[in-house]
Amino acid sequence: MERVTTLRRVIGGGVAPLVDLVYPPRCPACGEGIGEQGGLCATCWNDLAIPGDPSCGLCQRPFGESGPDEGSICAPCLGSPPAHDGIAAGTLYTDTSRKLVLALKHGRRIALAPLLARLIAARIRQAEEERLIIPVPLHRWRLWHRGFNQAALLARELAKAGCGTLVVDGLRRTKRTPSLGGMGAKARTRALVGAIAVNKPVSIKGRHILLVDDVLTSGATSTACVKALKRAGAKSVVIACFARVLDEARVHT
pLDDT digit string, tens, across residues 188-208: 777 777 889 999 878 899 999
What pLDDT shows up at residue 220? Answer: 87
What pLDDT shows up at residue 97? Answer: 95
pLDDT confidence bin for 13, thresholds 50/70/90: low
- With a CB cutoff of 8 Å and minimum separation 6, the contacts of 227 are 83, 196
Residues in the chain: 253
Least confident of 116-125, 131-140, 170-179: 170-179
Q: What percent of the chain has pLDDT over 90?
A: 50
Average pLDDT estimate for 132-140: 93
Average pLDDT score over the chain: 84
- With a CB cutoff of 8 Å and minimum separation 6, the contacts of 115 are 38, 39, 40, 100
- Strand pairing report for 208-216 and 236-244: parallel
> Is the pLDDT at 252 greater than 50, yes or no?
no
Residue 168 half-sphere exposure toward CB, CA atoms < 13 A = 12
Domain coordinates of the chain in residue numbers?
1-47, 49-249
- Among residues 55, 48, 90, the alpha carbon closest in space to that of 76 is found at 55
Average pLDDT estimate for 139-165: 92
CA angle 181, 182, 185 (to 5 degrees): 90
Identify the CATH assignment for 49-249 out of 3.30.70.2860, 3.40.190.10, 3.90.930.60, 3.40.50.2020: 3.40.50.2020
Q: Which tops the pLDDT comparison, 178 or 112? A: 112
Average pLDDT estimate for 230-248: 92
> Is the pLDDT at 6 greater than 60, yes or no?
no
Residues paired with 209 in a beta bridge: 132, 237
Q: Which tops the pLDDT comparison, 116 or 61? A: 116
